[in-house]
Structure 1
């Protein structure tokens, strides 16, 4: 394995992590913005108000996208194993 192969594999690994974490992070971000807007409009400054809805939405997003995330991990793993099998 040369430097180009290592960089390509690292790039694919980082991209896979971004794609797999995207649904959970985006849903948490959208809920956080909505709650922040709600808190700004109502002037309720309860710090624990943000945690429970975010946790519930992230769990729901992970449940809904679990097959997609698993599929992405499977494709990446198969690609890495095929590269190992070929010797580079």
Structure 2
């Protein structure tokens, strides 16, 4: 495996992790913003109020996108094995 191939695999892994994490993180930001606006409007300043709705929303989104996430990870893993395995057999010959 050349350095360029290894760099490309690492770039793909970082990009995949960002894409996979985006739905959950975006949900946390949106729910957090909505709760912050609600707290500012009602002047209710309880620090623990934002955690429970955020956790529930994040878990719901995680369960919703789990099949897609697993599909993306399996595709990336197959790509890695297809690119690395031929190089291992060539180097051992």
Q: Which has the larger radius of gyration?
A: 2
Q: Deviations over 1:49-69 (max 9, x none)?
A: 000000000000011101000
Q: Give the corresponding residue for 1:12.
A: 12
TM-score by length of 1: 0.94
Stretches (4+) displaced over 4 A: none
Structure number with higher relative contact order (C-alpha < 8 Å, ≥ 6 residues apart): 1
**SS in structure 2 of the partner of residue 44 of structure 1:** coil
In the alignment, structure 1 segments of 5+ residues that lack a partner are: none
In the alignment, structure 2 segments of 5+ residues that lack a partner are: 89-93
Separation of aligned partners in 2, 1:87 and 1:54: 45
Query: What's the Cα RMSD here?
Result: 1.1
